[in-house]
Amino acid sequence: MSHLMGNNLKQRKIAIPAANGFDFLTVSNTIYCKAESDHTWVYLHQSDKVLTTKALKYFEALLPEDSFFRCHKSFLVHLNFVKKYKKRDGDHLELDNGTWIELSGRKKEALLHRICKFRCCCIKKKSRS
């Protein structure tokens, strides 16, 4: 049951196990996921967060690879919510909600490539409309 539902990314939902059943979360509203031991916090656009017993690796495999990026051993971010990239006391990403996420040094080049590819793709799609 823990899979993607729906054809359109804006409408697509994931079912994640919760203590008393399943929570259905809209993929496009998922800002980032944060690992905490063997649990994961899923942070949503509406300032909500959901705790699940699944590991971050589970979400990395579940969420669309073209929209999400594992930027650190503890973080998986939705590229659409990346607001800034800063080099200060290490590399960090600022998300639209004001959260700062640490960027692993090993992931820097891959992330910059992905952001460029992701943003250019989005711009092309918007200009076709």
What's the pTM? 0.80
Instruction: Express each pLDDT in 16-52 by its tens digit.
Output: 887 788 889 999 999 999 999 889 999 998 879 999 9
For the chain, domains (ranges, CATH) are: 4-128 (2.40.50.40)
Specify whether the CB–CB gap between 95 and 103 falls below 8 A. no
* Residue-level pLDDT at 78: 95
HEC profile of the chain: CCCEECCCCCCCEEEEEECCEEEEEEHHHEEEEEEECCEEEEEECCCCEEEECCCHHHHHHHCCCCCEEEEECCEEEEHHHEEEEEECCCEEEEECCCCEEEECHHHHHHHHHHHHHHHHHHHHHHHHC
Instruction: Express each pLDDT in 43-82 by its tens digit.
Output: 998 879 999 989 999 999 999 988 999 999 999 999 999 9
